[in-house]
Amino acid sequence: MSKLHIDSVTKTYNHKVILSDIYMSCKTGEVKGLVGRNGSGKSTLLKIVFGSVNPESKFVKIGSKVIKSISDTRCLINYLPQDNFLPNNTSVKSLINLFLPKENRTIVLENEYIKPILNKRNRDLSGGEKRIVEILLIIHSKAKFVLLDEPFNGLSPIAREYIGNYIKTRKSSKGYIITDHDYENVMNLADSLVYLKNGFLKEINDKRELVELGYITKTIDGNRDD
């Protein structure tokens, strides 16, 4: 079992503290849910962990390897951004062959959502189809840890359920950190939750704490905090 250790993450924008001495961890076989209001810094935190945004300070380690730059994340951390990132003029089949190691290609090529669109170019796909392709490419990459930023964006309810179940069945060999505006899917999927507010990260031990914190009005099972 590998562990992603994130510590001492601090980030400011225009003298405003976005992240303040953040600590978080995730191990393989775990889905960690990251929740918080719009603009709280969730995406910024994931980008810092991945290495695409530079903070004032950070310490990121997987096992004994310290991650100092984005080049260090190769085969260790992969990141799904909010915006589509695949080249438009390339077919889905070519994208799979380009982005995935040989041993992981067949399972995606034969996926029920992917087979009907294999010969389509990325620019001709719907928003939901693009998102599914991107998610599957990230999940089946060599990375031990996967950061998913708004994975359910643009997906139909059926596709959201499918992707949630897909992650559950594939999590034994990877660790996942997921954030999404669709907090119910995140909460249903996550083995553990953390809540980001005013630059600080709080571990959530009971979902009713999110009611007390004013993030939601009731828990998913419908019970209000009385």
List pLDDT tens digits, range 148-187: 999 999 999 999 999 999 999 988 989 999 999 888 889 8
Decide yes or no: CATH 3.40.50.300 for domain 3-212.
Answer: yes
Q: Are strands 175-179 and 77-80 parallel, antiparallel or unpaired?
A: unpaired
Look at residue 223 in the predicted model and tell me its pLDDT: 52
Look at residue 1 in the predicted model and tell me its pLDDT: 78
Phi, psi of 56 (to 5 degrees): -70, -35
Look at residue 217 in the predicted model and tell me its pLDDT: 82
Q: Which secondary structure element, helix H or strand E, spans residue 186, and what is its range?
A: helix 183-189
Q: Which amino acid is at 51?
A: G
Least Cα distance to 28 among 192, 167, 174 occurs for: 174
The residues, any chain, with a CB within 8 Å of residue 127's CB and separated by 6 or more, are 154
List pLDDT tens digits, range 72-130: 888 899 999 999 899 999 999 999 999 999 999 999 999 999 999 999 999 999 999 99
Look at residue 108 in the predicted model and tell me its pLDDT: 97
Whole-model pTM: value is 0.92
**The length of the chain, given as a count of residues:** 226
